[in-house]
Chains A and B, each alone.
Chain A
Amino acid sequence: MTKGVLYSLAIATMALGGAATAETVAPEKVEIVDMEVTASLTGLPGDATVGRETFADRKKGNCLACHANADLADQLFHGEVGPELNGVADRWSAEQLRAIMVDSKQVFGEQTIMPGFYTMNVGVNVAEKHQGTTILSAQDVEDVVAYLMTLKEN
């Protein structure tokens, strides 16, 4: 590993905070192949209980803004811009959900409204406090993927 890569990893790790370790894959380095990201972004498994909170938290995933989810029926105002996530684990694999969360535009195409939660592929004029950061940390993504895999109907 070159010094440059080490530095950029270190910077990404500092910027993203959380449970990131040296093994965390930086957002620019995540490879989406055939709509999948095969390995955990942090090398660690996700925590579904934490992921459920990240999913609902308006300052983190805010996933309910666009997706209805019966598992969180106690929360008001589920959006309807994206598909419902009831039984999502029956339809998608963890590897696919990880890819969609990282950068949905590489999975669904540029026209999708869904933001990429772990990517530097963002719009123009990003607000200063969000520059160089991702919406979620690598571990946040892993936690939400773990949570989504619990949403089964079959």
Chain B
Amino acid sequence: MAETTIKYTMMAGIFATSLGGAAWAGGPADDKLVIDDELEITTRVKAPEGHPLDEVISGWHYRTDETRALEADSFQNPGMLYVERGEEIWNTVEGDAGKSCASCHGDASESMKGLGAAYPKWDEKAGRPLNIELQINKCREDNMQAEPYKFDAADQKSLTTFIKHQSLGMPVRLDLSQGDMQAWWDKGKEVYYRRTGQLNMACANCHEDYNGNYIRADHLSQGNVNGFPTYRLKQSAMVSLHNRFRGCIRDTRAEFPAAFSDELMALEVYVTWRATGLSVETPAVRQ
């Protein structure tokens, strides 16, 4: 694992250097994502009704040739190591109830198929939407009698990645008719357009108004979340969605909300909806 990480870090460095002299191409790359030459991934799709953009485009199109190739080959994709680790956790007994995930849910490739494409989901008892991370924690506490994972614990990221990966290639589709999901969508939309920090920027400024343009070395994408948790070459690690939310907000020189806070859960509901129709790509590979 360490060796692999070093290898990818070096590769990332080389990509960054090779970008230097390149002329800015601009816009999404004209390419098709087929994983292992067999699974076609929907990376461009007509936007759902009420979406501000005409076409929803995966962040995959905004990355370099080399980064796109990494995601197209599951043997090369460094995120697949986390999927493997997640499978181990799935089958490991933890907690006072003496259960593993598999004890109740059996074969994840059947029981978890499609789940990652439909989360966050309304939870009546909690009175709020739950994402995969929170659903795992709920299961751990209620059914396994185990400690919930702390935000961004290595096992939380691996297990979330494994579960979302069971929906690889399936279209993102939220059910906003459950509970108060629509109200959370509305709140998330407010957060998306709200300018934060000393730099006075909203998500929309970069990802809606200027996607396809470079901001320094970053090729701005539409900020779609269908590939999370995603392997970021820059960090040589799996990065969770709420980690990325917080990073973006921090970069506007603002205080960032707590992971899984109402504000960020609302944002997750809204931006997941913005990716409607794109395939789940977890684990995506990004810069």
Which residues of A are at the interface with B, using a C-beta cutoff of 8 A? 62, 64-66, 76-81, 105, 113, 115-116, 121-128, 130, 133, 135
Contact = CB atoms under 8 A, between A and B. Distances in A.
Q: Chain B: interface secondary structure?
A: loop
Contacts of B20: 76-77
Interface string B198-214: 11111001100110011
Contacts of B255: 125-128
A131 B24 CA distance: 36
Q: How large is the interface on B (under 10, 10 to 19, 20 to 34, 35 or more residues)?
A: 20 to 34
B197 to A, nearest CB: 5
Interface in B17-38: 19-20, 24, 26
B252 interface: yes
B37 to A, nearest CB: 34
B128 interface: no
Contacts of A133: 198
Contacts of A79: 213-216
Contacts, number: 84
B21 to A, nearest CB: 9
B196 interface: yes
B197 A130 contact: yes
B248 interface: no
Nearest to A129: B253
Nearest to A131: B198
B266 to A, nearest CB: 15
A123 B215 contact: no
17 contacts: A64-B216, A65-B216, A77-B214, A77-B216, A77-B217, A79-B214, A80-B26, A81-B210, A123-B198, A123-B199, A124-B195, A125-B197, A126-B198, A127-B198, A127-B254, A130-B197, A133-B198
B194 interface: yes
Contacts of B19: 76-77
B220 to A, nearest CB: 8
Nearest to A58: B216
Contacts of A80: 24, 26, 213-214
B250 interface: yes
Given A80-B24, A113-B209, A127 B217 contact: no
Interface string B163-196: 0000000000000000000000000000000111
Nearest to A111: B209
B129 to A, nearest CB: 22
Nearest to A113: B205
A135 B255 CA distance: 16
A113 B253 contact: no
Nearest to B257: A125
B217 A122 contact: no
Contacts of A124: 194-197, 254
B162 to A, nearest CB: 34
A113 B217 CA distance: 18
Given A80-B24, A80-B26, A127 B215 contact: no
Interface string B241-255: 000000000101111
Contacts of A66: 215
A62 to B, nearest CB: 8
A133 B24 CA distance: 34
